[in-house]
Amino acid sequence: MRLTEKRMLADRYELTAPLARGGMGQVMVGRDVRLDREIAVKFLRLPDGEQDPDMVRRFVRESRITAGLRHPGVPAVFDGGSEDGHHYLVMQRVHGIGLHDLVSEQGRLSVGWSACVAAQVCSVLSAAHGASLVHRDLKPANMMLEREGTVKVLDFGLAVALDRADMSQITRTGHTPGTPAYMAPEQLLAGSSTPLSDLYALGCTLHEMLTGQRVFTASTSFALASKQVNEAPTGVRRLRPDVPADLAEVVSALLEKRPEDRPAGADEVYGRLIGFATGLEHIPGELNQPHLPSPHRMYGAAVARVFGPAGTGADTSADSRAGDGAPAAPDTPADQAPESTVDAVPLSRVEVERTRDEAAELGSSARYQQAAQTLREAVSSATASFGPTDPDTVRLRMDWANVLFEGGNFRGAAPVYGELVEDLEGMEGEENQSLVFRCRLQNATCHALSGRTGAALSILSDLLDDEVDVYGHDDHRPLELRRQIGLLELAAGRRKDAEHTLRDLREDLVRLHGPGHPTVAQLNDQLNGSLTQ
């Protein structure tokens, strides 16, 4: 199937014309002939046109997570599937002007409109990050201003995530999708995308709205990436003195090189922006006339009065933030550990295996929430029947943690891994020791993927000490863990620590395996490249 021709898809969707093309996908516009409504169909673009089962699996997973992200600032997902080897999502068609085009036309936006657009994006990020979904490619071209003044954030789910099988997958370099002009230093240095990376991209976008200029420009992608990593941005008040000092401070905070120096989360940024979203002038040709009735603004004005005339719906107090850079995930039954086993239904050994098979089938179909709920209930019953450290219960608990993790619910998975470690540590047996180490690594990975790099590094440092005690300094497991620690330090902006960690590792690998070892070559590239630029 050529993705440029007019044709029918799935005997229901009439594709009429191409709309956009990106690194990971292509978008066509059309009509759902069954419901007679406009649609946009996004296709996964496979490298060289060849099937990649892992990429398809990740696309399906991300599509399901995106479909569950219910927010007025995100286009609704209607359907998905595959035909003739082409995997697709059917989504709401959005009308309006791309933010990049709006800035180009206007030269720059007013302070009020810049703050209003950024605050709306923050509300989208708050919902997305709470669902463990990171955009990875946030930029003006992925934001659409509709004629009612509302903002849609596009392309969630098309920047297909790296495989999350273990920590090494989130610290591979050169594999993170994104646009260098809006990519955070940790994305460029270590391929690590977290909620705090999205906030950096928002800072780049807010700077551009206010000044009409990108934070950094360069003639090549490499030179641009080098500036993102190494150079301090020009303050917005130097380029536009009328920008309020407090708003300029928000931009500077978002553009901090070290993730841990940025604001704690999108909720906090929203609270700092919303007060500047005032005096919004009419934008001729782009917004509906002010005198026309606007059901969207009527609805928004009514919602704004919930909890008081000035209610914003956002709690920006310190207690409302989950710390280390990510808002708390919504409390859903599948996310919570079983609080009590008093009312748990007894479970037989045969039923344990049947439940595990059922959950595995659900997981293989990317029905992660249903699989997690099934396993959560089984864990509660198995704990009541056999105890928390019984082998059958432990296997159920591990399955539960893994399906939460695979489904992208890192904040839900982390405590399940952590409780397994607490219950199993100290028990004898090589197999048990290996399981504890694996849970500790997965727990650290959950923290890292949620943007809580400090917590992740603390867990990994303790794990390295214990792995060296058990396996020895030259075993491949602690050697690989040292590489992961070094790359995570790099992602956290701790470049001196990362250089020390990776140089020591390279020396040990050369001593053990010689200078031709593949990992030595990778370390050489990093030590001679991004770390020393």
Q: Give the per-residue pLDDT at 290.
A: 86
Question: Do 161 and 76 fall into the same domain?
Answer: no
Secondary structure class of 77 (helix, strand, coil): strand
User: Closest Cα partner for 178 from 209, 144, 201?
Assistant: 201
The enclosing domain of 12 has a CATH number of 3.30.200.20
Statement: residue 363 has pLDDT above 70? yes
Question: Do 65 and 157 fall into the same domain?
Answer: no
For 481-487, what is the mean pLDDT? 94
* Residue 302 resides in a domain: no
Question: Do 277 and 354 fall into the same domain?
Answer: no
The yes-or-no answer on residue 267 being catalytic is no
Q: What digits encode the pLDDT tens for the residues 116-145?
A: 999 999 999 999 998 878 898 999 999 999
Set 54, 137, 423, 465: catalytic member: 137
Q: How far apart are CA 143 and CA 153, in angstroms?
A: 5
The enclosing domain of 104 has a CATH number of 1.10.510.10
Using pLDDT thresholds of 50, 70 and 90, give the confidence band for residue 323.
very low
Q: Give the per-residue pLDDT at 309.
A: 62
Question: Do 156 and 257 fall into the same domain?
Answer: yes
* Residue 1 resides in a domain: no
Q: Are strands 97-98 and 25-32 parallel, antiparallel or unpaired?
A: unpaired
Domain that holds residue 111: 97-285
Q: Is the dihedral of CA 460, 461, 462, 463 positive or negative?
A: positive
Statement: residue 372 has pLDDT above 50? yes
Q: Give the per-residue pLDDT at 98.
A: 96
Statement: residue 421 has pLDDT above 90? yes
Question: Do 277 and 400 fall into the same domain?
Answer: no
Question: Do 241 and 387 fall into the same domain?
Answer: no
- Is residue 400 within 8 Å of residue 364, measured between CB atoms? no
Question: Do 188 and 260 fall into the same domain?
Answer: yes
Question: Do 124 and 212 fall into the same domain?
Answer: yes
Q: What digits encode the pLDDT tens for the residues 253-305?
A: 999 999 999 999 999 999 999 999 999 999 988 999 888 888 988 998 898 88
* Total number of domains constituting the chain: 4
Q: CB-based contacts of 527: which residues, under 8 Å, 6+ apart?
A: 499, 502, 503, 506
> What share of residues in the chain are helix, strand, coil (percent, to 5)?
55, 10, 35
Q: Which of 446, 469, 494 is the last residue of a domain?
A: 446
Q: Give the per-residue pLDDT at 58.
A: 76
Q: Give the per-residue pLDDT at 320.
A: 40
Q: How far apart are CA 18 and CA 528, in angstroms?
A: 42
Q: How far apart are CA 533 and CA 524, in angstroms?
A: 13
Statement: residue 160 has pLDDT above 50? no
